[in-house]
Amino acid sequence: MKALKIKKSMQVAVSTVAVASLIAACGNGGESTGTGSNGSGSGGGETVTLRMIESLTNPDRTAMLNTMIDKFEEENPNIKVELISPPFEQADTKIRTMLAAKQELDVLESRDLNVAEFVNNGYLEPLDDYAAKWSDFETVTSVARAVGTTQEKLYFISNGMYQRQMFYRADWLKEKGIEVPKTYEELVNAAVALTDPANNRYGFSFRGGPGSNSVPDTMVRDYNADNVDLTDPNFLKSGATIFSTPEAKAAIELYVKLYKEASPPDSVNWGFQEQVQAFTSGVTAFLLQDPDVIASLQNDMEEGTWSSAMMPVGPAGKALISAGGAGWSLASHSKHKEEAWKLIAFLSNPEQNTIFSKGYGTIPIHSTAVEDEFFQSGPYKTLIEMTNLPETYLNFKATVDYPANGQWGTLNMETGQRMLLGQATVEDTLKEWDNFWTKAKEAVK
């Protein structure tokens, strides 16, 4: 684990239509950004040092964040920022530990998958009153607001929106005469056809370690399609979980085949970094990921060797998509809340968020970003195409209100690995997933 970094550590096309779906400007404007207190802030007085921790760490992102913090400190000479950047796989555990122990901390990166857990434990300060006085909140999109809101209060300002798409090796498909897959069955067949272990070439960048639940969750939803409750997407309209159906069994059997016949054996333990590196280094052919990987692909791969496409659909010809996000929260035990909000507002303003989105590859949170040509071309085009097909790509609301979200990733990874390694059946694994979400729903009634 990286030690505490004293700041200097470092590291979209969203057309009007796409953004209109991901984005719907709304909200009331305020008069000004929050300012320092206790004689601090940009004026005179003693220097305040803020402690800030990020979750979705990688070296380039951390460097970018430190550059933004440098600018904030230039404009606010009496506020200093210590940025903590743990390794990605350990970051959320580190954040939980600091919050539970009430270690000195002012700003933290919350995620849609753990914000309800943090709120339930009283770790976060509501941001509604601060945002009401922040003029830039006028252009924060409705989707970004929704992702940061749980229990009807705003708990983080998103630093970027994420929406999954498919990246593929265009040159490999051309060599084999394989069309770009449109369904999961086509994806698995193409991945198997491209797999050649003797030459260290595999069809799919599998992720069986931390964050492993994304693909099986997505496939199970897509196989249940129209029966899914779009406002509570781990459940069907009937109230049963999505993991309780024959469609779920068919989806997970295909998922197991994807691992066993088209993925590197050690990918059962891979996390985000290994998954992306396998694609960029020429080991794997398909990668299902968010647009934050685009910068890495552009930097590390030859132009023309890769491309992006819409997400595969299920047997009914439909797929469920959602914009997720992470963002900056204020620790409820912070001793410098006004200064901490000032930092959050700075990092989230249209200028800084656009810089961050371009550099990191996320969808910006401000509706004004649609005017930027950068977000209307290139690999982000895939997002436009999906958004323009609402009958095929059904938008659902992320499950941010379940405190159990924080445990789901670990349970899914551990039970999923047992299944992939032949130590548990598909049926027994689905029963565990079904039981988990049944209890999660009972807990919030």
| Six token digits for residue 46 | 């003693």
CA angle 12, 357, 2 (to 5 degrees): 130
Per-residue confidence (pLDDT) for residue 7, from 0 to 100: 39
pLDDT digits (tens, 9 = 90+) for 385-418: 787 788 899 988 777 678 888 899 999 999 999 9
Domain 48-161+324-384: give its CATH architecture.
Answer: 3-Layer(aba) Sandwich (3.40)
pLDDT band at 126 (very low <50, low <70, confident <90, very high): very high
Question: Which residue ranges make up each domain of the chain?
Answer: 48-161+324-384, 165-322+397-443
pLDDT digits (tens, 9 = 90+) for 209-234: 999 999 999 999 999 999 999 989 99
Per-residue confidence (pLDDT) for residue 44, from 0 to 100: 53
Q: What is the pTM of this model?
A: 0.72
- Above 80 in pLDDT, residue 11? no
Whole-number percent of the chain with pLDDT over 90: 69
- Above 90 in pLDDT, residue 323? no
CATH superfamily of 165-322+397-443: Periplasmic binding protein-like II (3.40.190.10)
Average pLDDT over residues 293-312: 93
pLDDT digits (tens, 9 = 90+) for 333-359: 999 999 999 999 999 999 999 999 888
Per-residue confidence (pLDDT) for residue 257, from 0 to 100: 98
pLDDT band at 38 (very low <50, low <70, confident <90, very high): very low
- Above 90 in pLDDT, residue 151? no
Per-residue confidence (pLDDT) for residue 400, from 0 to 100: 66
> Rounded to the nearest 5°, which phi and psi values hold at 100?
-65, -35
Average pLDDT over residues 192-197: 98
